[in-house]
């Protein structure tokens, strides 16, 4: 199956808690963006996210972190598409008090969240041939 990847920097505007911590809902929003692109590539339509069946937050995300967010369709039904998602931190603050603009590229990306869920594309909106 085709894999979709988004790479982005988490904005300071996304900070929700003390210590520059970002709300997990922001990562779920990114999973939704990946799901939308997967559906467009697969069906030619944005479809609708029906439900998550699993969500795991594995590590904190902070304002300024760079994330790589991946997703792929693992099962295709008549109108449903089941998907897997993973988000990795790839760059993070070096946390040097006298140099607040210092960042580190992580040698090994850190899994911050994973999830799976189902999206639906109505039959009449499926404009592309299904791919497996």
Domain regions of the chain by residue span: 3-123
3-state secondary structure of 45: coil
CA separation for the pair 123, 27 (Å, rounded)? 29
Question: What share of the chain in percent tops pLDDT 90?
Answer: 80
Please provide residue 34's backbone torsions phi and psi, each rounded to the nearest 5 degrees.
-65, -45
User: Residue 130 above 60 pLDDT?
Assistant: no
As a whole number, mean pLDDT of residues 5-28 equals 92
CATH number for the domain formed by residue range(s) 3-123: 3.10.129.10
Helix runs in 10-127, H state only: 24-43
- Say how far apart CA 8 and CA 10 lie, in whole Å: 6
């Amino acid at each position: 199956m085709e894999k979709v990847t988004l790479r982005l920097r988490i904005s300071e505007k996304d900070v929700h808690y003390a210590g520059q911590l970002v709300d997990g809902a922001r990562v779920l929003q990114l999973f939704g963006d990946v799901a939308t692109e997967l559906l467009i590539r697969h069906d030619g339509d944005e479809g609708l996210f029906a439900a998550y069946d699993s969500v795991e937050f594995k590590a904190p995300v902070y304002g300024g972190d760079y994330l790589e967010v991946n997703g792929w369709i693992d099962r295709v039904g008549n109108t449903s598409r089941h998907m897997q998602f993973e988000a990795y931190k790839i760059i993070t603050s070096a946390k040097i008090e006298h140099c607040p603009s210092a960042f580190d590229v992580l040698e090994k990306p850190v899994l911050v969240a994973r999830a799976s869920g189902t999206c639906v594309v109505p039959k009449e909106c499926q404009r592309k041939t299904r791919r497996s």
